[in-house]
Structure 1
Amino acid sequence: MATPAIENIVNLHPNVDITIFGSAISTRVFEYHPNVQRIVIDGSRKQKFRVFHLYKQARQLGRFDCAISFRRTLASKLFVWFCEATLKGNYRRYTKRAIHQVIRYNDFVNKVFKVKVSASQLTIYKNQKPVNTHKSDKKLLGINPGASYGSAKRWYPEEFAKVAGELSGQYDIVIFGGPGETDIASDIEKSLIENGITNYQNLAGKTSITALIENISNLDLFITGDSGPMHVAAAFQVPTVAIFGPTKDDETSQWMNDKSVIVKKNLKCQPCMKRTCPLQHHDCMKLITAVEVLDAVKRLN
C-alpha cells in the first residue's frame, strides 16, 4: 500500500536510485522496480543487541539524500535517525478519521517532500520472463485462505472448498498460502478431493514471494481474506472477492480496483481489530456463507 507514495517520489525525481531496507518478505515487492538499486534485508530482528545492529546496518548503507520509513515502530525511527541523510522522515498519522492506508502513506510522502500529489494505483513491477503459463481452456481462480495478522481474519476452509467446488467447472483452482498456512490449504485440498475435483494446484508453502506475485497477476478471479496477497491482486486489477471480518475495510480494502467486491457482516462488534476473537464466537467470519461469496462472484461477472 506504500507503492503509490513511492511512485510519486519517482515521478518527482525520475532518476532517483532507491535502496529498500526491510523484511525478507516485504522487500520482494520491489525486486524488479527499475529505480531500486539495492534491496537490503533487516538482519537485526533476531539479534540480542538490536539497536547496535540497526546502527551498524544504517552506517554500512552509506549516505543518502533522503531516508524515510513507512513504519511507526521505535526500531524504524532509530534506523532513520542512524542513517546518514540530508532529509529524513518517519511515518505518522496526520488525522484520526478513517481514511485508506494508501492515502495515509501518500500524505506522509507529501509532507516530507512538501508537495501535494494524489495517490494513484498500486504498482508492482514483474519479471519480464513469466514464471508460469496456464495452459487450459478454463479460467484461473486463486483461493487465499490465510492471513498472517491472526486467526480472526481467516474464513473457514470448508466454506472456501464449497466455493471452489462450485466454480471448478469454469475455473482451474490455485490454492495459495505461506509456510504457516499449509494446514488450512490442505483442508481445502482434502475437501476438493472428496468431491472428485482434480483441476487444482496447492501451492501453499511452495512458492517464493516473487513467484506468488507472478501467479496472482495471471489470475482471472481471486477469493481472499484481508491480506498481503489481496493487495497484490489489486496492483494487477485482478477481479477479487475480499472477505472481511475484524479489520477496517475502509482503511485496508483493495485500492483502486474497480473489479473488487467486499463481503462482510457489519456486526456491532466489528471491527474489533483483534488477532483472535475476544468474544470467542468469531461470528464476523462464521456467519459468512459460501452462497454469499458466490453471489459476490456473480456481481463481478
Structure 2
Amino acid sequence: VRIGNHRTAGFVYTHRVWDVAAFLGIEPERCVKPWMYLPDEAIHKARILLEGTRRPVLFSIIGGSKKNKRWPEESWIRLLREMISAGWSAVLAGHGEEEKKMGARIVDMVGSANVMNLVGDLEILETSAVASLCDAVLGGDTGLLHIANSVGVPSVGLFGPTLPEQVGLAGLDKCFISSCKEAGCQRWNCPKKECLGLIDPKRVSKALLCLVSMRADT
C-alpha cells in the first residue's frame, strides 16, 4: 500500500490521502494546519542545543532542492544582520554538504555569536524539535518548511518558481512572492537569475518582528 498525493505523479500511489481521510471520517477542510508529533528525546536534545541562546530565535531554512528555490546568501546575510541588531538569535537549518558550506559562509559574514549553524548536524526529528522551540520560522519551498509549519511556530515562506498554493503551503502565517512576472513558472533551469533575490530582506525582517510581536500580545 502506498498512500500519498501528487499533482503529476499520482500513479505511484495506490490510495490518495483524501480517500484515506474520508475512510477514517476526517474532513480535510477542517484541518487548517498540519500537525507533527515529536518524541521526548528529540525535544530534550533540542533544549540542550538551544540552552543559553538569546531570545527570540529564528529558525532559518537556508536551502532548497533546486538552486532557484533558495534565497540568495546575500539576502540571508542582510536579513540576519537586521534580526541580530533587533536582539534576535538564529539557527541555520538544512541538509547536505553544499548547504552546510553555505551556512558556514553566512555565519562568517554575519559575524555574530548569536547565529548557530546546525545544517546537516541533526536527524529530521531533532531538527523538527529545534524548530518547535524557536519563535519563528523562515524558509523557501522545501520539505523543512512543511515540517516547521507543522510544529506550531509562526512560519514565513519565500516563493519564486513555485507559489504557496501549488505546494501545499498556502496556510503559512506570511508568504513573500518574488515580483518576477513569471513567479510560479516551475522552470528549474530558468535563465533569469533574480527570482527570489527580488524579495527584500528588510520587508521580511519587518514581517517577522511584527508576527512575533502580535503573537506575544495574544
Return the offset for 1:232.
1.5
State the TM-score, normalizing by the size of structure 2: 0.81
SS in 2 for 1:230: helix
Partners of 1:293 and 1:132 in 2: how far apart? 26
Seen in structure 2, the aligned counterparts of structure 1 residues 74 and 223 have a Cα distance that, compared at 3 Å, is closer
Seen in structure 2, the aligned counterparts of structure 1 residues 116 and 273 have a Cα distance that, compared at 3 Å, is same
Seen in structure 2, the aligned counterparts of structure 1 residues 115 and 236 have a Cα distance that, compared at 3 Å, is closer
- Is residue 155–residue 174 contact of structure 2 (8 Å, CA) maintained in 1? yes
SS in 1 for 2:156: strand
- Is residue 180–residue 198 contact of structure 2 (8 Å, CA) maintained in 1? no
In the TM superposition, what are the counterparts of 1:14-53 in structure 2 within 5 Å?
Answer: none
Seen in structure 2, the aligned counterparts of structure 1 residues 110 and 172 have a Cα distance that, compared at 3 Å, is closer
Q: Tell me, which stretches of 5 or more residues in structure 2 are unaligned?
A: 214-218
Seen in structure 2, the aligned counterparts of structure 1 residues 255 and 128 have a Cα distance that, compared at 3 Å, is farther
State the TM-score, normalizing by the size of structure 1: 0.60
Match of 2:28 in 1: 118
Of the three residues 201, 207, 210, the one matched with 1:296 is 207
1:167 paired to 2:62: no
Match of 2:12 in 1: 76
**Which aligned runs of 4 or more in structure 1 are off by greater than 6 angstroms?**
none
1:132 paired to 2:46: yes
SS in 1 for 2:109: helix
Partners of 2:78 and 2:147 in 1: how far apart? 24
AA aligned opposite 1:249: P
Seen in structure 2, the aligned counterparts of structure 1 residues 210 and 268 have a Cα distance that, compared at 3 Å, is same
Seen in structure 2, the aligned counterparts of structure 1 residues 186 and 115 have a Cα distance that, compared at 3 Å, is same
Return the offset for 1:114.
8.6
**Cα RMSD for the two superposed structures:** 2.4
Larger radius of gyration: 1
Which of the pair is proportionally richer in helix? Answer: 2
Seen in structure 2, the aligned counterparts of structure 1 residues 172 and 69 have a Cα distance that, compared at 3 Å, is same
Q: Tell me, which stretches of 5 or more residues in structure 1 are unaligned?
A: 1-66, 78-88, 92-104
How many residue pairs align between the two structures? 201
In the TM superposition, what are the counterparts of 1:265-276 in structure 2 within 5 Å?
Answer: 265-276=178-189
1:90 paired to 2:15: yes
Of the three residues 152, 155, 165, the one matched with 1:237 is 152
Partners of 2:197 and 2:171 in 1: how far apart? 28
Return the offset for 1:71.
5.1
- Is residue 231–residue 255 contact of structure 1 (8 Å, CA) maintained in 2? no
Return the offset for 1:255.
5.6
AA aligned opposite 1:210: L
Return the offset for 1:214.
1.0
Percentage of matched positions with identical amino acids? 21
Return the offset for 1:110.
4.6
Higher RCO (CA 8 Å, separation ≥ 6 residues): 2
Seen in structure 2, the aligned counterparts of structure 1 residues 249 and 255 have a Cα distance that, compared at 3 Å, is closer
Cα deviation per residue 1:122-163 (whole Å; 9 max; x = unaligned)? Answer: 121111232121333522111111012x11111111111111
AA aligned opposite 1:185: G
Moved more, 131-140 or 223-232: 131-140
